[in-house]
Amino acid sequence: MDLCLSVFWWAKFHKKKGGIKVHTLYDVETQIPAFFHITEASVHDSKVMIEIPYDPSSYYIFDRGYNNFKILYKIHQIEAYFVVRVKKNLGYKSIQWKRRLPKNVLSDANVLLTGFYPKQYYPKPLRLIKYWDEEQEREFTFITNAMHISALQVAELYKNHWQIELFFKWLKQHLKIKRFWGTTENAVRIQIYAAICAYCLVAIIQHDMQLDRSTYEVLQILSISLTNKTHLRDSLIKLNFKRTKNDSDQMGQVCLIFNSSQF
């Protein structure tokens, strides 16, 4: 999130630009953030990987900023799985290839890292997959320790990464964190915490009541029913609500988590 450095003096990024990052672990199954950590924008994404709580048998999806092989190896050691989009300058050597590849999978090989530090931090073989995305008309390269699933499943896992971008877009549009009421670091943090807590509460209500409404609709109904004595379920089920073309029912900058029972 970009901030004016002259107003938010503590949010250092560049000489003339300020900002903060909300590093988030987003649970795709529940569609709520399982963990988030707020830092100045100058803090590199990979530095926060050590703060994330990892669970065995889960799948973690990372973007290119999270090529921290020391932490990735710790994920591997607890028998969890990761899919990471690799940087272009990654050094590796192929040790085994798969010959019969499904459509849009350009390459599927087991590799060893060759960089001075990466090969020390991650001494085990990794799986490197090159995939052609027809929708975006571009090539993606992933590394993963998930040797037991197909290359297409790896690509599908990474596609869910975009849900976290939609989650942040939803927060900014509907929970008013484009503008901040205070300028201190504490004020900004409190406003972000409040927004994410509000989203989680709405998502819990939507899930527990098994409502046939979008998260946005539930939020809007709750906002106009806070002083209403009508039972909450009656308000959420009976109240007519007109959607606009800008309303989004899609949810959910760091990584995603899956349960291994899906595979």
Task: Report yes or no: 94 and 110 within 8 Å, Cβ to Cβ.
Answer: yes
How many CB atoms are closer than 10 A to CB 143?
A: 23
Q: HSE (CB half, 13 Å, CA atoms) of 85?
A: 18
> Residues 209-233: pLDDT tens digits?
777 767 777 777 777 677 677 777 6
pLDDT of residue 68: 93
Q: Which residue has the tokens 């250092």?
A: 12
pLDDT of residue 239: 59
Burial 68-104 (b: 16+ CB within 10 A, else e): bbebbbbbbeeebbbbbbbeeebebeeeeeeeeeeee
pLDDT of residue 212: 72
Render 137-154 in DSSP notation, one character per residue: TEEEEEEES--SS-HHHH
Residue of 162, 121, 118 lying closest to 140 (CA atoms): 162
pLDDT (tens place) for every residue of the chain, 263 residues total: 777 777 777 887 877 788 888 888 988 887 788 888 888 888 888 899 999 999 999 999 998 888 999 999 999 999 999 999 998 889 999 999 988 899 999 999 999 999 899 999 999 999 999 999 998 899 999 999 999 999 999 999 998 888 888 888 877 777 667 677 888 888 888 888 888 888 888 888 777 777 776 777 777 777 767 767 777 767 666 655 554 444 444 333 334 444 444 44
Task: Report yes or no: 62 and 110 within 8 Å, Cβ to Cβ.
Answer: no
From residue 5, how far is each of 9, 13, 31, 44, 138 by CA, in Å?
5, 8, 33, 18, 36
Q: Burial level of 224, CB count in 10 A (0-12/13-18/19+)?
A: exposed
pLDDT of residue 123: 95
Q: Which residue has the tokens 């924008």?
A: 41
Tokens of 7: 């107003």
Tokens of 127: 């799986």
pLDDT of residue 248: 41
